[in-house]
Structure 1
Amino acid sequence: MTLRSTGIDHGELLRGLTLRLPSADRVELSSGFRPATETDWAETYSEGCFVPRGPWRAPGRAECAMLFGTPGPGALPGDWIAVLPVPGRVLEASAALRAVSATGDAAALDALIEGPAGRLALVEALRWANGLTDPARPGILTPFLYGRIPAGNPTMTTGSHGRRVGLHVDSWDDGPLAERAAAANRVSANLGDHDRCLLVVNAPLAVMARALAERDLLDGAADPRFALGRRFMQVFPHYPVTKIVVRPGEAYIAPTDNLLHDGFAEPHGQIDLQFSCRGYFVAPAGGMGSSDVGVAS
């Protein structure tokens, strides 16, 4: 990959992760990044955070060619993102939790999650998620059900310090840069009644590192946990963030240890109900690839 001064510097997408989605209208692109200190929510963020910069827009034809496609048989977990339907049996098992989440009563929802209704919902979700794993590497890691009240902030994840962390890379296994594309990926199911959004930078960690190295700007920023992503956002502030809509009754599979990401949901007075777990999930069949939007992959 050779960078052009009129390309990535001005918001041109790099070829990166493949998106396998139900339709092209699920995606919007931001105008780049901005420090969280420049937003109305600065006091809720920890130091050094970045969030997407508006306005948002639909991707053009060439951008669709970069984003959409069908993961190949040898694709690593860190090479693709998919949105897929959640089976009816999982939604039925979580119906009691969803009803309480609609009231906005966080304490009542937490109590229900910890009780028999929560255990039933979790077991059914685990059965479904286990069926998505690579048969050669079965098993589910860190499963949990939880609720989150959208506050309207540009991103949603909060760190142990109580402040939001902005666009970030997970480090569940704390693997080095060379191993991140092969790390476990993550399922997150939207069990609530409102759309949620996954915010991602389509360039995975190795692509970001290469872009910085070609500018001789990687020195001191190769650590994939924090430094690499922050350096990329500082150097390429116009690079688009990709927003993917995940509707109620859908889930995404994404390699959150291998890309900058976060979540977003509009405030609606209800609690976002989610199931999340990690594992070595395979790309599902179906959905929309690049050929479905009339572009070459």
Structure 2
Amino acid sequence: MNLAIAHQSPVALIARCDVAGVRAVHGDPDYEDGAVLPHGAWEPLAADLARRLRPTARTRDSTLVELVKLPDGPAVPTGLGSLADPLGDSEAVHLGRASSPAKSLTTTPNYRDGRRIGLHVDNWDKLAFEAKHLGRRRLCVNLGPGTRYLLLGDTDIRTICRTVHPSPGTRYPHTDDLRAYIAGGHRMRVYRLRLEPGEGYLAPTEFLPHDGSTEGQPEPSTAAFWLGHWPRGVLPSMV
């Protein structure tokens, strides 16, 4: 498994995590053709899977997922843009915020035409195959008012790219590689992690297929985002 989630309490992780399969969607006017979406009923995270999600001594900080809370509790600070200033990367970038409607299976739109893109990988750092695991992690904080989810695929984009392109060379791994991987019959689990207002994550969104979700939630939510090279443990863990 390529997905690693830092946690001390498997019980706490299980309480906020569900698992499903994925599918490629075609002919849906709300989604790009070939977009990869969660599929099937969400199942509770099993104890054996929770154990396998624990990072090992070989897990880089740059590929680790952490579920975090603000140091001063759930209240959102007034100076939101400077929230990441004391976290250890003076060059961290505040990306702004994005609002998501309620009851959305995935949240990220293609800003050219409004169709949603499904699970995807980011490319802020423009990293080629050999360096894709070294990108900045994304810090996200749920500003509310509603609950939202982080969706994460358990297969990283380097593994996906190497499967689709056996000699990846200097290729730049892309969401299209993920779509080709799923279209080719390969399987992937997607994990859904619940985030209440004031809670957030640090995640390698350049490395792991991901998206947001408000599925089943009656209220919309807004998320704020930063990018940076942060060591593990810079914010208190929720699990």
Query: What is the TM-score normalised by the length of structure 2?
Result: 0.84
Distance 1:141 1:235, change over 3 A: same
Q: Aligned to 2:180, what secondary structure does the other structure show?
A: helix
Spell out the pairing of 1:127-276 with structure 2 (5 A cutoff).
127-133=82-88, 137-150=89-102, 152-161=103-112, 162-210=114-162, 212=163, 217-219=164-166, 223-266=172-215, 268=217, 270-276=219-225
Is contact 1:200-1:262 (8 Å) kept? yes
Is contact 2:147-2:219 (8 Å) kept? no
What stretches of structure 2 of length at least 5 have no aligned partner?
none
- From 24, 39, 54, the counterpart of 1:53: 39
- From 19, 23, 28, the counterpart of 2:18: 28
Aligned-partner Cα distance in 1 for 2:237–2:115:
36
Structure with larger Rg: 1
Aligned-partner Cα distance in 2 for 1:34–1:148:
22
- From 64, 67, 81, the counterpart of 1:83: 67
What stretches of structure 1 of length at least 5 have no aligned partner?
1-14, 94-120, 290-297
Distance 1:275 1:164, change over 3 A: same
Aligned-partner Cα distance in 1 for 2:59–2:105:
35
Shift of 1:51: 0.5
1:282 aligned to 2:231?
A: yes
Higher helix share: 1
Aligned-partner Cα distance in 2 for 1:92–1:172:
26
Aligned AA for 1:154? L
Aligned AA for 2:108? T
Distance 1:63 1:89, change over 3 A: closer
Identity rate of aligned residues, in percent? 22
- Identify which range, 15-24 or 173-182, moves more after superposition: 15-24
Aligned AA for 2:120? H
Aligned-partner Cα distance in 2 for 1:187–1:90:
15
Aligned-partner Cα distance in 1 for 2:74–2:91:
18
Query: What is the TM-score normalised by the length of structure 1?
Result: 0.69
Distance 1:268 1:228, change over 3 A: closer
Q: Aligned to 2:200, what secondary structure does the other structure show?
A: strand
Q: Aligned to 1:47, what secondary structure does the other structure show?
A: coil
Aligned-partner Cα distance in 2 for 1:288–1:148:
23
